[in-house]
Amino acid sequence: MDITFSAEELAFRDQVRAFLSENWTDNLATRIRGDNQEFKAAQIEWQNKLNDQGWLAPGWPVEHGGADWSVTENFIFETERSLAGAPDVVPFGLKMVAPVIYGFGSEEQKKRFLPRILKNEDWWCQGYSEPGAGSDLAALKTKAELDGDDYIVNGAKVWTTYAQYSDWIFCLVRTDSSGKRQDGITFLLIDMKSPGITVNKISSIDDHHSLNEVVFDNVRVPVANRIGEQDKGWTYAKALLAHERTSIAAVADSKRRLRDLRKLLAQEVSGGRPLSEDTQFQNRLSNTEIELMALEYTELRVLASTADGKGPGVESSLLKIKGTEIQQAIQQMYMDLAGYYSGVIHGEENAETIGHAFGHDARKAYMYGRAATIYGGSNEVQKNITAKYVLGL
């Protein structure tokens, strides 16, 4: 594996750095951390900048607006973006449903939906999970029955991220219960303004409203909004999950967080000495850095084999397990550094900061971070996959 960049790749890296320093501003960074509509407006502004540059959906086919990047160029962009502290795009439209639409959708569906996703005109959410159908997704029960040119949908989806902002939801629904569970599932695109849809907020421990329950009560969905064939939705759903697990290791994000943590440790003083001289913190930091370096090389090996035309396969499970464990170890160190101040809850937006400025953010990141080992396929399930396909158990 050759891990040096070519002259063209280094030139591309400089171009990405110049773009980020001009366009990823402090103002955007502050607003994107905000709540509700402020977050959405700032995220759209950021994604529009990427679209103007032609970098919003690099993985899409070129004819639909993709950038035709090599695996290495994609790696360079993701690394530089993370090191600059800029967020990933909201994935549900751009990285999840779009590949299903251009991979399996009709020409009308491609023309109707893809340009609006690229221009950030439609926000999407993902309606897979249900009460009783998470890891065991094929247990889903939300039902769609044909009635003329429409399906009538009844049931409920849960943990639906950003449903409160979304114009559309892509859903797995049950159209047949007679045979194998995976065989009776259909993939529908549903307008969130359809009569009969209710979005209920789910409060989470990080104070940020991202999660919802979406209830369908006799919702009419045109058959024209079905992807591919009826009862074949499982095939399209699986293709989408492969996209969901890409870049989940978040190596560059963890590198940035460790870099910033080092600075804070040098500033914070305990017993007259900076915490960076505390041997316990030094040990924890070094161990996490070693793990992260090992993960980075594993990721580079996976990328090298992807560049050779082999799919990421089971390695994506290993990247997910290790990447999320490292993220949580870093979040724990921020919490320990903030000490008591990580427990301060700011009642109002823009309230005066009490104690360490980073305490509030440390707590939010730690709290939301608990979810990283659950979503995108829980780590226990990834361990099962690894045991079966890597260890042959």
Stretch that binds ligand FAD, among 13-21, 127-135, 140-148, 214-222 (CB under 6 A): 127-135
Active site (annotated) includes residue 244: yes
Measured from the CB atom, the residue of 223 and 371 that comes closer to ligand FAD is 371
Measured from the CB atom, the residue of 80 and 244 that comes closer to ligand FAD is 244
Question: Shortest Cβ distance from residue 314 to ligand FAD (Å)?
Answer: 16
- Residue 161 engages ligand FAD in binding (rule: CB under 6 A): yes
**Total residue length of the chain:** 393
User: In the set 23, 129, 276, 306, which binds ligand FAD (CB under 6 A)?
Assistant: 129
- 244, 268, 296, 380: the catalytic one is 244
Question: Shortest Cβ distance from residue 28 to ligand FAD (Å)?
Answer: 23
Rounded CA Rg of the chain: 22
Measured from the CB atom, the residue of 71 and 371 that comes closer to ligand FAD is 371
User: In the set 293, 380, 387, 388, which binds ligand FAD (CB under 6 A)?
Assistant: 380
Question: Shortest Cβ distance from residue 256 to ligand FAD (Å)?
Answer: 21
Rounded Cα gap, residues 317 and 389, in angstroms = 10
Phi-psi region of 335 (alpha: psi -120 to 50; beta: other; left: phi over 0): alpha
Q: How many CB atoms lie within 10 A of CB 279?
A: 7
Residue nearest to ligand FAD (CB): 134
Question: Shortest Cβ distance from residue 377 to ligand FAD (Å)?
Answer: 6
Place of tokens 């005109």: 121
Measured from the CB atom, the residue of 164 and 254 that comes closer to ligand FAD is 164
Measured from the CB atom, the residue of 47 and 126 that comes closer to ligand FAD is 126
Stretch that binds ligand FAD, among 96-104, 158-166, 182-190, 355-363 (CB under 6 A): 158-166
Query: Buried b / exposed e across 41-73, counting CB within 10 Å, b at 16+?
Result: ebbbbbbebbbeeebbbbebeeebbbbeeeebb
- What tokens does 104 get? 């399996």
DSSP state for residue 17 in the 8-state scheme? H
- Residue 375 engages ligand FAD in binding (rule: CB under 6 A): yes
Question: Shortest Cβ distance from residue 369 to ligand FAD (Å)?
Answer: 10
Biggest CA–CA distance in the chain, Å, is 77
Place of tokens 């889903």: 140
Contact 72, 9 (CB under 8 A): yes
Q: How many CB atoms lie within 10 A of CB 317?
A: 24
Question: Shortest Cβ distance from residue 206 to ligand FAD (Å)?
Answer: 9
Q: What is the DSSP track for 102-127?
A: HHHS-HHHHHHHHHHHHTT---EEEE
- Burial class from Cβ neighbours inside 10 Å (0-12, 13-18, 19+) for residue 164 reads buried
- Residue 134 engages ligand FAD in binding (rule: CB under 6 A): yes
Measured from the CB atom, the residue of 171 and 319 that comes closer to ligand FAD is 171
- Residue 282 engages ligand FAD in binding (rule: CB under 6 A): no
User: In the set 39, 102, 151, 159, which binds ligand FAD (CB under 6 A)?
Assistant: 159
Question: Shortest Cβ distance from residue 160 to ligand FAD (Å)?
Answer: 5
- Helices (H) and strands (E) counted in the chain, each on its own, are 13, 10
- Residue 202 engages ligand FAD in binding (rule: CB under 6 A): no
- What tokens does 223 get? 């058959």
Contact 94, 119 (CB under 8 A): no
> Contact residues for ligand FAD (CB under 6 A)?
125-129, 134-135, 159-161, 211, 371, 374-375, 378, 380-381, 384
Active-site residue list: 244
